Structure 1
């Protein structure tokens, strides 16, 4: 099993970074995970801004040479792990810019003329690990679970990825946020994950 970790936080002293480290640590002790690659979007200097003009057309995004290495990473991975904070009820703009460009037509999905496209990333699995300042139930009850609906239905299911696991950790700026317990949960999950 090959794992791609996409880390989206500008601060390497953050809890998000600590969660990413636990993904790597647990994965390194799992005999079923043969390799882990990390894409740190901020450190990479990934450009999240979409540009469409006379020479750069949206319909050609799946062949954009500037994005080739990122497409190869996605195709290489069996499991894609996203580690990011929840800001204003959704993932950071940097991650959304990555998604806008990478999950493009004729790479991640293919239109068939009907209501739903053919997902081209079938067989892959996704794990989303997110942190937030407020309580976890805020997303569920106040925002009607918008984060999970966005990620699972509007994105991953659309491109054929049916196996999606969420870890949403709230109260992460509180000294009572049970940080060690939550970090250990991620470590144990990746140490034992089998598909």
Structure 2
């Protein structure tokens, strides 16, 4: 199993970075994991800004040479792991900019004349590890589960990825947020992860 871990937080001293390290530690001790690649969007200076004009059209985004490396990573991965904070009820703009560019028509899906397009990333699975300052059930009760709906339905199912696992950790800025317990949960999950 090949894991592509996409990390989206600007601070390598953050709790999100600690979750990344636990995911990598667990994966490294898992005999089912063949190889792991890490894409650190901030360290990579990934440009999340969409630019379209007469020489750069949206319909050609799936062949943009500047994004070739990232397309190859997504094709290579059996499992796509996203590690990020939830800000304003959704992933950071940096991650959304990556999604806007990478999950493009002609690469991640194609229109087929039906209500929903054909997902071109079938057979892959995804894991979302996210943290937030607010309570764990805040997105469910206050935001109608918008974060999970965005990631599961509007993104992954749209491109053919049906198997999506969520770790949505709340109260992460509180002294009694059980951060160590949750870090160990991520370590154990990736250590025993099967395809």
> By the TM > 0.5 criterion, same fold?
yes
Q: Deviations over 1:64-94 (max 9, x none)?
A: 0000000000000000000000000000000
| TM-score relative to the length of structure 2 | 1.00
Aligned length: 195
SS of structure 2 residue aligned to 1:42: coil
Alignment partners' CA distance in 2, 1:34 and 1:128: 20
Residue of structure 1 in register with 2:85 after alignment: 85
- The 5-angstrom pairing of residues 124-143 of structure 1 reads 124-143=124-143
Residue of structure 2 in register with 1:106 after alignment: 106
Residue of structure 1 in register with 2:157 after alignment: 157
SS of structure 2 residue aligned to 1:158: helix
Structure 2: which 5+ residue stretches go unaligned? none
SS of structure 2 residue aligned to 1:44: coil
Would you identify which runs of 4 or more consecutive aligned residues in structure 1 move more than 3 Å? none
Give, in angstroms, the shift of residue 112 of structure 1. Answer: 0.4
Residue of structure 1 in register with 2:24 after alignment: 24
Residue 97 of structure 2 is aligned to residue 97 of structure 1 = yes
Alignment partners' CA distance in 2, 1:51 and 1:148: 28
Residue of structure 2 in register with 1:15 after alignment: 15
Alignment partners' CA distance in 2, 1:182 and 1:62: 37
CA RMSD of aligned residues (A): 0.3
Give, in angstroms, the shift of residue 113 of structure 1. Answer: 1.2
SS of structure 2 residue aligned to 1:127: strand
| TM-score relative to the length of structure 1 | 1.00
Alignment partners' CA distance in 1, 2:60 and 2:80: 24
Alignment partners' CA distance in 2, 1:84 and 1:191: 20
Alignment partners' CA distance in 2, 1:178 and 1:40: 26
Alignment partners' CA distance in 2, 1:124 and 1:17: 24
Give, in angstroms, the shift of residue 114 of structure 1. Answer: 1.4
